[in-house]
Amino acid sequence: MSKYLSYPLSLFLLFTLALGQNKKGSNMSKDNTEYAIFGGGCFWCVEAVFERIDGVSEVVSGYAGGQTKNPTYKEVTSGKTGHAEVCKIVFDPKMVTYDELLDIFWQAHDPTTLNRQGADIGTQYRSAIYYINDAQKKSTKLALEKAAKMFDDPITTEVKELDNFYLAEGYHQDYYENNPNAPYCAFVIRPKIKKLGKKGLWDE
């Protein structure tokens, strides 16, 4: 697959985010795109991976799975809000399916490390899938059964129905694309991108 270059938020996302922070509901927009909510450690990493997938039109960093309304990054990193760093992945199901995104999700992080990805430690970095309808719930259950055979250790991924998705602060959006030489990008994200590229998820 060819590398997908990110671009600013579409008018569709700006509109939906302004109207109630993307509460659970229909997974189909007027332009026939769907979305998935995944957490796999730092959302900068998740964003950088899925922005490169053919069929994905937008990847937006945010927070989900907690109890505090409209949390800030500072509040989430304190671990007191209960939120995970997640990404909203907007995709065209005619080009890439939800099941295929789940396959990439397992490859893009370690779902067996509880509340941790590498040096990123805390509940906000937990592995998570927040489904938004029965079809995604069913697909996720089957994907978990499949993934359990791929890893030696038990999978710790949190699977729940999406309650709310809260948009992260602007400086978190497209972080890798905008800050490729930042230390975290150079030493954590770039090696991951290169490793996954060698698996054929996209053209390097």
How many helices (H) and strands (E) the chain has is answered by 8, 8
Active-site residue, selected from the candidate residues 42, 45, 87, 185 = 42
Our answer to whether residue 42 is catalytic in this structure is yes
Distance CA 140, CA 129 (A): 8
One-letter-per-residue 3-state SS of 113-150:
CCCEECCEECHHHCEEEEECCHHHHHHHHHHHHHHHCC
Q: Compute how many other C-beta atoms are within 10 angstroms of the C-beta atom of residue 173.
A: 21
Which class for 136: exposed (0-12), middle (13-18), buried (19 or more C-beta within 10 A)?
A: buried
Nearest of 146, 151, 188 to residue 48 by alpha carbon: 188
Active site residues: 42
